């Protein structure tokens, strides 16, 4: 008798269900965070929440939550060519942050704050680089400089949100991991 390759054990189904539920809940958290603060230009907890998710759950979960959150929130805030740039920007931030994955709990909060602020600046640079071909490379520098004030707001928001959200997120993630076994 041959075994069915599509047959899953209860444990595998339970694990996949938990993973899917976790991704859905994290996407909802990030999306609500972004939409709740959308009245403030570039000051939203999205980047810090994605940083926390990436540091705790890894880059794959961080990347998936970022992709889903950008698409979902842009359905409300406006979808356009910038959506691709936003996804690319968050992909770069998540890949950079994954380098801290194993050591994040030893990094002091003030250093993580500076890192989160740095991510706000990098995000704006990456968005400008991705969108530059649409407008022409000859105007890249003026285009980037025109958006720099928004990047600084993003950096300020990340700096402010990190000490509030990082300890809470890490504690909640640890507690839910313990509960789910």
Counting beta carbons within 10 angstroms of the beta carbon of residue 39, is it exposed (0 to 12), middle (13 to 18) or buried (19 or more)? Answer: exposed
- Within a 10 A sphere around the Cβ of 118, how many other Cβ atoms? 15
3-state secondary structure of 4: coil
pLDDT at 160 over 90: yes
In this prediction, residues 143-165 reach a mean pLDDT of 96
Task: In whole angstroms, give the CA distance from residue 16 to residue 144.
Answer: 42
The predicted structure's pLDDT at residue 93: 98
The residue written with tokens 């958006």 in the block is: 147
pLDDT at 137 over 90: no
The CA–CA distances, whole Å, from 89 to 84, 117, 119, 137, 159 equal: 9, 14, 10, 18, 18
Q: What is the pTM of this model?
A: 0.91
Q: pLDDT of 40-98, one tens digit each?
A: 999 999 999 999 999 999 999 999 999 999 999 999 999 998 999 999 999 999 999 99
Query: How confident is residue 1, by pLDDT bands cut at 50, 70 and 90?
Result: very low
State the average pLDDT for the chain.
Answer: 92
In this prediction, residues 153-160 reach a mean pLDDT of 98
All structural domains of the chain: 10-180 (1.10.1760.20)
CB 147 within 8 A of CB 30: no
Task: In whole angstroms, give the CA distance from residue 162 to residue 116.
Answer: 7
CB 48 within 8 A of CB 156: no
Task: In whole angstroms, give the CA distance from residue 74 to residue 43.
Answer: 16
Q: 81-98 and 46-57 are packed helices; what angle lies between their axes, rounded to 10 degrees?
A: 40
Q: Which residues contact 158 (CB under 8 A, 6 or more apart)?
A: 47, 48, 113, 116, 117, 119, 120
Structure tokens at 123: 């995000």
The predicted structure's pLDDT at residue 5: 61
pLDDT at 179 over 90: no
Counting beta carbons within 10 angstroms of the beta carbon of residue 166, is it exposed (0 to 12), middle (13 to 18) or buried (19 or more)? Answer: buried
The predicted structure's pLDDT at residue 181: 63
Q: pLDDT of 113-132, one tens digit each?
A: 999 999 999 999 999 999 88
């Amino acid at each position: 008798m041959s075994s069915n390759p599509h047959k899953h054990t209860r444990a595998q189904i339970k694990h996949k269900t938990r993973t899917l539920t976790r991704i859905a809940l994290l996407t909802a958290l990030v999306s609500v965070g972004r939409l709740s603060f959308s009245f403030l230009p570039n000051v939203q907890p999205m980047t810090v929440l994605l940083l926390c998710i990436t540091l705790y759950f890894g880059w794959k979960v961080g990347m998936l939550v970022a992709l889903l959150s950008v698409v979902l929130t842009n359905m409300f805030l406006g979808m356009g060519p910038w959506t691709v740039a936003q996804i690319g920007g968050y992909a770069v931030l998540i890949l950079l942050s994954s380098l801290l994955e194993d050591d994040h709990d030893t990094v002091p909060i003030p250093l993580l704050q500076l890192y989160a602020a740095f991510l706000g600046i990098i995000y704006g640079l990456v968005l400008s680089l991705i969108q530059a071909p649409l407008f022409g490379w000859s105007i890249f520098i003026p285009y980037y400089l025109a958006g720099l004030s928004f990047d600084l707001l993003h950096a300020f928001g990340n700096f402010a949100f990190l000490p509030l959200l990082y300890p809470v997120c890490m504690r909640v993630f640890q507690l839910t991991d313990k509960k789910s076994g």
